[in-house]
Amino acid sequence: MKSSLPNSLFQICLAFLLITILNSSHWGFKLSNFCISKLGYITPLAPVIAITILLGMLTVTLLLNKSKMQKVIAALLLVSVCFACFSLKPDISKKDLWQSWGEVNAKIKTDDKPLLVDVYTNWCYYCKVMDATTYRNDSVYNYLKEHFYRFKFNAEGKDSIVWQNKVFKYNNRYQCHDFAVYLTRGNIVYPTTVIITPGSQPFYIHGMLKPEEIELILKYFGEGIYKHTTINDYAKSFTATWK
């Protein structure tokens, strides 16, 4: 009785220490990357997973003891584990943001809305973070749905792409798709956000963009401001409102 409770307190302290280390370490980064890329979760979940595992271990330990108080604590911890597991539920909202290439090609012939292409790879961490945060932001999502065609393009995909009567294929020599080379003019970085307006060359910007950062770009092209104002002049008087 006297030794089991201190052991439980020690396990709790150990749990918080492990969570802290895991969240800030290389392995925590890798685990977060795996969660986002394979499971589709919104946020890095290394701390949640650590809490779930450690609380589960502590619950079993307490249940093995005969103390009624420890069994009550175990029951409370079990409830906590259930909530932690529930928090691991994937976010399946806003899956309709991206259109197929066939749909884009069919609609772009009848409507002159600009086209946004999200250039990514399966291994790119910040591509997944941007997809799980920026593109699921309500303001970004709604604005893109109304003002843009949207296509998510895997720069290492093997499918051919037909654009403006030209066929782009995967380039085995460079291990990336020629369409990615075209969109970025050879300056390939992941992620890259590309916008194509009717009759013009692709405009691209490298790196992960937060909602307040992508807002300027989307409104510049989505509202046709690019037709009469440079993006630098527009940025001087622009104030971001998306969070």
Report how many domains make up the chain: 2
| Burial class of residue 140 (count of CB atoms within 10 Å of its CB; 0-12, 13-18, 19+) | buried
Q: Is residue 199 part of a domain?
A: yes
* 119, 175: one domain: yes
* 192, 127: one domain: yes
* 108, 26: one domain: no
How does pLDDT run across 214-223, given as a tens digit for each residue? 999 999 999 9
Q: Which of 216 and 23 is assigned the larger pLDDT?
A: 216
* 23, 112: one domain: no
Which residue range is the domain that position 45 belongs to? 4-86
115: left (phi over 0), alpha (psi -120 to 50) or beta: beta
How does pLDDT run across 130-180, given as a tens digit for each residue? 999 999 999 999 999 999 999 999 999 999 999 988 999 999 988 999 999
Mean pLDDT of 42-49: 48
SS3 annotation, 168-182: ECEECCCCEEHHHHH
* 220, 134: one domain: yes
Total length of the chain: 243
* 54, 172: one domain: no
Is pLDDT of 89 > 50? Answer: no
Q: Is residue 243 part of a domain?
A: no
Task: Return d(Cα 150, Cα 195) in angstroms, integer.
Answer: 9
Q: Is residue 29 part of a domain?
A: yes
* 232, 114: one domain: yes
Last residue of a domain, one of 45, 61, 86: 86
* 229, 109: one domain: yes
Q: Give the count of alpha carbons within 13 A of 185, CB side only.
A: 9
First to last CA, the chain: 52
How does pLDDT run across 91-120, given as a tens digit for each residue? 556 778 999 999 999 998 888 899 999 999
CATH of the domain at 186: 3.40.30.10
Give the mean pLDDT of the chain: 78
Q: DSSP letters of 145-171?
A: HHH-EEEEEETT--S-EEETTEEE-EE
* 181, 75: one domain: no
The b-or-e profile of 171-206 (16+ CB within 10 A means b, else e) is eeeeebbbbbbbbbeeebebbbbbbbbeeeebbbbe
Q: Is residue 95 part of a domain?
A: no
* 71, 118: one domain: no
Q: Is residue 229 part of a domain?
A: yes
Last residue of a domain, one of 36, 55, 86: 86
Cα dihedral angle (178, 179, 185, 189), rounded to 10 degrees? Answer: -90
Last residue of a domain, one of 54, 86, 118: 86
